[in-house]
Amino acid sequence: RTLFACIQRLRRIFMRYYMILLDGEERTAVSLDGNVLYVLDEYKDMDALIAAGGVQEIPKDARKVSPEAVKLLSPIPRPRQDVLCLGINYAAHAVEADRFSREAFGGERPYPIFFSKRVNYSQGADAGIPSYKGLVDSLDYECELGVIIGKDAFQVSKEDVADYIFGYTIVNDVSARNL
């Protein structure tokens, strides 16, 4: 890789991307420090921004807003696809899963356990999560690291994985364990 390509990748990695509610409209924004947001008028949503590979620099004519002046939404409020998850990814989770269903989760696992979650709308920062009383009597939650894949990937080598990652986010993984 060239030095220029490495610098461009690092610049994109350190950009912070946001979906915000500004003047009643969902908008994309970018920031270098989280203190000043720059509205990206050319991208209608985060999917369009991801498809473009992000921005290499903040546009000179971008509108500046403070995070306090807008409502922060989920980074990807309406995912185009199911969210792909990795299950039983730490020791305490394996113990919990074994108590739930020894047949399904106990013993050795030669392959990772993947599952998907259908998300039609992802709640934003400080938003409530519906409890669905009468249908679910308990919700479980975990803080997860979300890896956002930026382009189609199939049989990607270990050496090339980083080229497919658009960015990272924090995910509040909420599950109904007794459905």
Give me the torsion for CA of 10, 14, 19, 22, rounded to 10°: -120
By CB atoms closer than 10 A (0-12, 13-18, 19+), residue 111 is: exposed
Q: 33-47, 90-104, 134-148: which range is least confident on average? A: 90-104
The residue with greater pLDDT, 62 or 168, is: 62
Distance CA 125, CA 91 (A): 29
Nearest C-alpha neighbor of 142 from the set 98, 106, 105, 172 = 172
pLDDT of 42: 95
- Phi, psi (5° rounding) for residue 64? -95, 135
Question: Per-residue pLDDT tens for 106-147?
Answer: 566 667 778 888 888 888 878 888 888 888 888 888 888 889
Of all residues in the chain, the percent with pLDDT exceeding 70 is: 79
Question: Per-residue pLDDT tens for 148-164?
Answer: 999 999 999 999 998 99
